[in-house]
Amino acid sequence: MMRKREEIKRRLLKTIRYPLFLMIIVIIIGVVFLQFLFPQFESLYQSLNIDFPLFTRLFIAFIHALPFIGLLALSFILLLFVYYFTTFRNYQPTKQVLMLQRMPLLRLFFPLLITHYFSIQLGTLLKGGLSIHEALNVFEKNDYLRFFQQEAIAMKTELLSGEGFERIVKAKKYFVPELSHIVAHGHANGTIGPELIDYGDMLMELFEEKVTRYFQIAQPVLFLIIGSTVFLMFVSMLLPMFELMSSIK
């Protein structure tokens, strides 16, 4: 289980490494422009008493508004932290998961990760010879992940009331719907442990494919942002110089 977790972390870091590199480039370009290039151009044109064209004035206004925009973003992040520590973390784990799954981006990935973890851990325990009830007892004793701990308690209660495990899993909104079919097929063939492990591996591959796909979309967007930033910077700074040359003629 520890080897599997380390392998997942290694593969995820490999997937997000290049997009993070592009984001760092954008941040460095912005810092260099704001701290060094823009003040030099601005003082130069002010010393020449050049009246900036509208495009340049708009770009300058946008540059001056960036600290305010950054302050708003930091304030929003701070409010999220305050909400998390004062309210969100006091909710029951199941409520936390359901709230996170409603978020536009997280709902694309969260069910895959939850189902992956549950399938791998449960499949490993079942493959090791434990029954479903005994495997849920192991989940119940896990104080590190309270969500699965509470869900194991709820599942055990439903099992004891006569509910089938397939139907219990199917009723959970945070699982991928196909998990119930895997459970039913594994029960029918007596291979539920290995099938859950294989299904968990497949979900991780699907998660990586989705992350890679979205990053492949994000990479051209980041390149476009970098190119547009450099282009607008030079256009806004060179336009007054062109006007100056035209007035001299």
Q: What are the tens digits of pLDDT across the range 58-92?
A: 877 777 777 788 789 899 999 999 998 898 888 88
- 215-220 own/partner pairs: CB under 8 Å, 24+ apart: 215/15, 215/16, 215/18, 215/19, 218/19, 219/18, 219/19, 219/22
- Check whether 15 has a pLDDT greater than 70: no
What band does 3 get if pLDDT is binned at 50, 70 and 90? confident
Domains and CATH numbers, the chain: 33-90 (no CATH), 95-207 (1.20.81.30)
- Tell which wins on pLDDT, 174 or 55: 174
For residue 106, give Cα distances in angstroms to 111, 190, 210, 211.
9, 34, 12, 11
Token pair belonging to 247: 């007035």
Q: Round the average pLDDT of the chain to a whole number and report it.
A: 82
What band does 195 get if pLDDT is binned at 50, 70 and 90? very high
SS3 174: coil
∠186-112-1 over CA atoms, to 5°?
Answer: 70
Q: Report, as an integer, the average pLDDT of 210-229.
A: 77
Q: Give me the pLDDT at residue 244, please.
A: 65
Q: Give me the pLDDT at residue 24, please.
A: 79
Length in residues, the chain: 249
For helices 132-140 and 106-127, the axis angle rounded to 10 degrees is: 120
Q: Give me the pLDDT at residue 1, please.
A: 57
pTM beyond 0.85, yes or no: no
List pLDDT tens digits, range 125-183.
Answer: 999 889 998 999 998 887 777 888 888 999 999 998 888 899 999 988 889 989 999 99
CA distance 186 to 196: 8
Look at the block and give the residue holding tokens 């791998």: 120
Q: Give me the pLDDT at residue 247, please.
A: 60
Q: Report, as an integer, the average pLDDT of 97-107.
A: 82
For residue 171, give Cα distances in angstroms to 14, 155, 192.
35, 11, 19
The least confident of 54-58, 119-123, 124-128 is: 54-58
What band does 31 get if pLDDT is binned at 50, 70 and 90? confident
CA distance 13 to 6: 11
Give percent of the chain above pLDDT 90. Answer: 20
Give percent of the chain above pLDDT 70. Answer: 87
Q: Give me the pLDDT at residue 72, please.
A: 92
Q: Give me the pLDDT at residue 97, please.
A: 85
Q: Give me the pLDDT at residue 207, please.
A: 85
Q: Give me the pLDDT at residue 246, please.
A: 66
Amino acid at 226: I
Q: Give me the pLDDT at residue 209, please.
A: 83
